[in-house]
């Protein structure tokens, strides 16, 4: 089933939100990805579910964030792509909390054995709710915020978002890398808006596909928060993409030994206008110069000693937002 609501229609009928916070939880699934978005209206969208196994570790951590946010169901589950660190935990999560709508990019583009198994289990789970395929340009109709799909199934939006479209001078120095024909290249990416607050979450979108959003013109514009792409691996997050976004804050969903590469870390750190980079984990493979000070890192250890702390963002319609590290309650507020 296609999600028929298109961007123009959604913007024309956008819900007038109250002054409550737009809540965002970057949930630690130790190198996978799961982010919970809760609109001021109370509707929720979970992007990816982390891994299966680990004694329900990731499902339990997502459930804890849901309880903290005061929600009792997931209104929209967006699976950006079918890798096990993004879609593996769907079955375990669905056993613990109701999932109403399942959104994805359609067919599986990768035939590796473990990927096929993850996709098969996901198909079984989504059959118990309402299933929608989203394409670039679709809007996800969550009351109180605007969510626009900017890339899906290997295709980017044709036209720039309102206020964007400026030429990107960095495109002259762009170089593609080895082609990826699998799921990362087909990842769903989204742009979210609450009043004057803007956030981008591109899943695991591959370096070469980022080019379609960033060059020759920046189709997305600038953001307040960049949820780092592909865990901060060096095969995503090109300077052409990240620097065009010019985020005030970046949140890196890395694990202790997954993502958080020195190359991606440096690109984000050097982005014009960046104030802070927050990490879900201390990147054990990096030196101290490629990790933030500990107050900006939610988890300093991995494995059995990891407590699975999250990074939470509370955004207001005037563009002001607050970031909190749940490990140490360190909080910082950023103004528009």
pLDDT for 32-74, tens place per residue? Answer: 999 999 999 999 999 999 999 999 999 999 999 999 999 999 9
Note whether 86 and 203 are within 8 A (CB): yes
Percent of the chain with pLDDT over 90: 91
Going by their DSSP bridges, the two strands 321-325 and 331-334 should be labelled as: antiparallel
Which H or E element spans position 32?
none
| CATH 3.60.15.10 assigned to 7-326 | yes
Confidence bin at 136 (pLDDT 50/70/90): very high
Q: Tell me the pLDDT of the chain averaged across its residues.
A: 94
pLDDT for 193-234, tens place per residue? Answer: 999 999 999 999 999 999 999 999 999 999 999 999 999 999
Res. 13: pLDDT tops 50? no
Kindly give, in sequence order, each residue whose CB lies less than 8 Å from that of residue 10, ignoring residues fewer than 6 positions away. Answer: 139, 141, 146, 148
Note whether 248 and 224 are within 8 A (CB): yes
Distance CA(266)–CA(228), nearest Å, equals 12
pTM: 0.94
| Model pLDDT, residue 283 | 96
Distance of CA 284 to the CA centre of its chain: 22
Whose tokens are 């528009």? That residue is 336
Note whether 26 and 326 are within 8 A (CB): no
Using CA atoms of 202, 204, 207, 212 in order, give the dihedral in degrees to the nearest 10. -40
The answer for 96, left when phi > 0, alpha when psi is -120 to 50, beta otherwise, is: alpha
| Model pLDDT, residue 11 | 44
Q: For the chain, which residues make up each domain, given as ranges?
A: 7-326
Note whether 167 and 217 are within 8 A (CB): yes
Mean pLDDT of 154-170: 97
> Among 216, 257, 265, 215, which Cα is nearest to 236's?
265
């Amino acid at each position: 089933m296609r999600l028929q609501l298109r961007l123009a229609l959604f913007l024309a009928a956008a819900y007038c939100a109250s002054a409550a916070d737009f809540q965002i939880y970057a949930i630690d699934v130790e190198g996978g990805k799961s982010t919970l978005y809760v609109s001021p209206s109370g509707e929720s969208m979970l992007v990816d579910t982390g891994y299966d196994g680990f004694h329900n570790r990731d499902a339990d951590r997502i459930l804890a964030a849901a309880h903290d946010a005061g929600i009792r169901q997931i209104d929209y589950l967006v699976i950006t792509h079918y890798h096990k660190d993004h879609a593996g935990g769907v079955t375990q999560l669905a056993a613990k909390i109701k999932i109403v709508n399942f959104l994805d990019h359609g067919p599986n583009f990768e035939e590796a054995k473990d990927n096929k198994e993850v996709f098969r289990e996901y198909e079984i789970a989504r059959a118990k709710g309402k299933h929608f395929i989203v394409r670039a340009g679709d809007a996800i109709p969550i009351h109180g915020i605007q969510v626009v799909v900017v890339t899906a199934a290997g295709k980017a939006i044709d036209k720039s978002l309102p206020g964007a479209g400026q030429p990107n001078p960095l495109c002259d120095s762009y170089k593609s890398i080895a082609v990826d024909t699998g799921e990362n290249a087909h990842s769903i990416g989204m742009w979210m808006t609450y009043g004057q607050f803007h956030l981008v979450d591109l899943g695991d979108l591959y370096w070469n596909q980022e080019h379609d959003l960033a060059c020759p013109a920046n189709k997305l514009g600038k953001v307040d928060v960049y949820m780092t792409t592909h865990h901060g691996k060096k095969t995503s997050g090109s300077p052409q993409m990240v620097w065009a976004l010019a985020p005030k804050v970046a949140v890196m969903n890395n694990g202790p030994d997954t993502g958080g590469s020195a190359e991606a870390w440096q690109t984000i750190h050097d982005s014009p206008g960046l104030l802070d980079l927050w990490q879900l984990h201390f990147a054990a493979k990096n030196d101290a110069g490629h990790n933030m000070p500990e107050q900006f890192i939610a988890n300093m250890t991995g494995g059995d000693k990891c407590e699975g702390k999250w990074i939470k963002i509370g955004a207001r319609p005037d563009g002001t937002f607050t970031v909190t590290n749940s490990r140490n309650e360190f909080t910082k507020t950023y103004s528009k």
